[in-house]
Amino acid sequence: MKLINKIEALALTALTLAAVTGCKSGSSNSVSLVGAGSTFVYPVMTRWTADFQAKNSNVQINYQSIGSGGGVQAVKQGTVDFGASDAPLSDEKMVGMAPIVQIPESAGPVAVIYNLPTLKAPLKLSADVLAGIFLGNIKTWQDPKIKADNPGVDLPKEDVLVVHRAEGSGTSNIFTTYLTAVSDEWKTKVGKGSQVSWPTGNGGKGSEGVTGQVRQSPGAIGYVDLTYALQNNLPVASIKNQAGTYVAPTAAAASAAIAAFAPALAKDVRTPIVNPPATATDAYPISGLTFFIIPKDGTDMAKRAALKKFIRYVVSDGQATASELNYAPLPDAIKAQDATALSQLTANGQPIP
């Protein structure tokens, strides 16, 4: 834990320097924005910032992929203009913070990746088996419970090596929220959160670290955003949903999960979209929304106007780019909620045009 805290502290220091440098560079009409947080959203955030800057040459955006927990801390400390987190802040966690606005900006599946080179068919996992693996109860790939999910499949004679996130992570929050929903043992022993006491396995720093460890270790299993799995040519497991269907992680399957929770999301956009009901036959059960975490007020009208323009682009035209990179585009109802939330942003208490 001390090492993790030290890493996050160093990352936040770097962000502070980036913010100061940004303020001093460029012409008098240029604007520099600094953001930090979710590694889950990093692939599409990179495209969003590049595309936005191409059409807005006076704006420079520096986004640091340090994990959702680090992004939230940076917002609290005022070292960034915006954060990104796969774990929205509850009312309790916002106590003592300056007012913030939380705006959903993307959605997608958390893919379960694995390294089983001899496996010919895609791996299938039911909820109780996945929980058993990450609890450390299932220790080999020859376990009868894994065989029951994969009849007729020649599973390797290897030990299971669990890889999880080392630092506070919104991806972990989505994954552990799912495990808490489907496993009473997980709920009792571990629970949900951005950072939990993992019963077994090795920690990797960021989605990049988890991907790297799984790729290098035969028998390994972990969880990352789908884009990381595809970019690294790692296979992904199909997860059994409440309808009894084994569903692969795709943007369409994540969209089906969002649709299943539409009434609840209309009341509170922070509602988890894991483990959708049996009526959602095509829904992938480990899906989540990612959020912009933004101070409600700021002191620099030019920066706040540029930030509002960037976010407006992300939740509108930027959703087409999200689809290209295997994220689920936001439905119109959530886009409308985003527009309402954007209108709350101010600079020195004044509305932003």
Residues in the chain where the model's pLDDT stays below 50: 1-14, 16-27
Query: Which of 276-313 are b and which e, b meaning 16 or more Cβ less than 10 Å from the residue's Cβ?
Result: beeebebbbbbbbbbbbbbbebbeeeebbbbbbbbbeb
Across 257-334, the runs of DSSP E, i.e. the strands, are 287-295, 297-298
d(CA 168, CA 153): 36
Residue 177 to residues 38, 192, 236, 285, Cα–Cα distance (Å): 17, 5, 19, 11
Amino acid at site 12: L
pLDDT of residue 252: 95
Structural domains of the chain, ranges and CATH numbers in brackets: 2-108+288-351 (3.40.190.10), 109-259+271-287 (3.40.190.10)
d(CA 338, CA 315): 7
Look up residue 228 and give its two tokens.
């990381």
pLDDT of residue 120: 86
d(CA 211, CA 112): 10
The dihedrals phi and psi of 161, each to the nearest 5 degrees, come to: -115, 110
pLDDT of residue 168: 85
d(CA 134, CA 198): 8
Helix (H, G, I), strand (E, B) or coil at 81: coil
pLDDT tens, position by position, 319-334: 999 999 999 999 999 9
Q: What is the pTM of this model?
A: 0.88
Residues 6+ apart with CB under 8 A from 55: none
Look up residue 93 and give its two tokens.
């966690």
Within 13 Å, how many C-alpha atoms sit on residue 155's CB side? 21
